[in-house]
Amino acid sequence: MAGLTKKDAVLTAYAEKLETLDAPQGRSLSQDAFRRLSANRAAMVSIFVLGFIILAALIGPFFVPWDGGTVDWGSIRKPPDFSKGHYFGTDQNGRDLLARLLQGTQMSLMVAGVATLVSVFIGVIYGAVSGYFGGRVDAMMMRFVDIMYALPYILFVIILVVIFGRSPVLLFVGIGALEWLTMARIVRGQTLSLKEKEFVEAARAGGAKPWTIITRHIVPNLTGPVVIYATLTVPEIIITESFLSYLGLGVQEPLTSLGTLISNGTPVAEVMPWLLVFPAIVLVSMLMCLTYIGDGLRDALDPKDH
């Protein structure tokens, strides 16, 4: 759910600043911001921790003795036991929790990644088209965005889930298809202001095709906001996916995600606390890191003293 990272405010402010600068100035604004970010200790630590978690999720499964699907009949519902290689314990089906956790994290990250890509893609195209054509087309397209903004997107996600069944691919796409709004607004703003700029006029007068104009002038100014958007969108998507999985509407067995793990762990937490504690720690850590990073980015791009 948006609002965790207030990405809308951050991005719009940043994008507005970029609009007034041309590409080289825009780049130096981004560099300044990057320097400020590196000075922010909380953000840097968060980046490090997050990086570690991501890395663990990606290559961890190769190092852990068990895999998430195998049942160890001898160790069902057991707390962490180093001798058997079950570092985080096992679940009700005898599967190793650490392995499942890594898998689940992978899945959550994948959903977040794909959905972000989809939303960036849709957002950029929608925004660029709207901004480029301007006028009535733009007004209509943006009105649509405003409307979508006002509505609770969880409901639509659930509708999509209902329609398209429980295929994870559609889950990614569905979530992404609803997250593109902010990106679209920003890209449109950039396109609109760039359209008016002299160097674009000059390029057009020189006979350059719209495509060239877009790639050479609009896109470079977009990399900053896109990166930030991606960073800030990912936690939202992770929460959304976890939320859906928790309700049973998201990732299905035998695949797992952080949401499913927590959903499994909650009812039995009294007797098997490790089933809840470990996934919860991972989820909360990721979200905390992303929050700090989001805050850091916001401060870096729009420095104000508290």
Partner 1 sequence: MLGYAFRRVLSALPIALIAVTVAFFILRLAPGGPFDGERALPPDVLANLRAHYNLDQPIWMQYFIYVKGVVTGDLGPSMVVEDFTVSQLIAIGLPFTLMLGLTAFVSATAIGMLAGVVAAVNQNKWPDYALVLVVMLGVVIPNFLMGGLLQLVFGVYLKWLPAGGWVNGSLPHLVLPVTVLAWPHAARISRLMRGSMIEVLGTNFIRTAKSKGIGERLMLTRHALKPALIPVVSYLGPGLSYLLTGSLVVENIFGLPGIGKYFVTAALNRDYGLVLGTTIFYVALILVLNLLVDLVYAWLDPRVRFH
Minimum CB separation of residue 258 from partner 1 in Å reads 9
174 binds partner 1 (CB under 8 A): no
Contacts of 31 (CB under 8 A, 6+ apart): none
21 binds partner 1 (CB under 8 A): no
- Give the span between the Cα atoms of 53 and 20, in whole angstroms: 38
The answer to whether the CB of 98 falls within 8 A of the CB of 64 is yes
Q: Alpha helices, DSSP H only, in the chain?
A: 7-19, 23-39, 41-63, 97-133, 135-150, 153-164, 168-179, 181-196, 198-205, 210-213, 219-247, 258-265, 273-301
Q: How many CB atoms lie within 10 A of CB 140?
A: 11
266 binds partner 1 (CB under 8 A): yes
Token readout for 90 is 């096992």
176 binds partner 1 (CB under 8 A): no
202 binds partner 1 (CB under 8 A): no
Stretch that binds partner 1, among 10-18, 97-105, 207-215, 256-264 (CB under 8 A): 256-264
2 binds partner 1 (CB under 8 A): yes
- Give the span between the Cα atoms of 209 and 83, in whole angstroms: 66
Per CB under 8 A, contacts with partner 1 among 129-168 are 147, 150-152, 154-156, 158-159, 161-165
256 binds partner 1 (CB under 8 A): no
Q: Say if residue 254 is preceded by a cis peptide, omega within 30 of 0.
A: yes
261 binds partner 1 (CB under 8 A): no
Complex with partner 1: residue 226 or 249, whichever CB lies closer:
249
Among 259, 274, 297, 298, binds partner 1 (CB under 8 A): 259
User: Residues in the site for partner 1, rule: CB under 8 A?
Assistant: 1-4, 147, 150-152, 154-156, 158-159, 161-165, 239, 242-243, 246-249, 259, 262-263, 265-266, 269-270, 276, 280, 283-284, 287-288, 291, 306
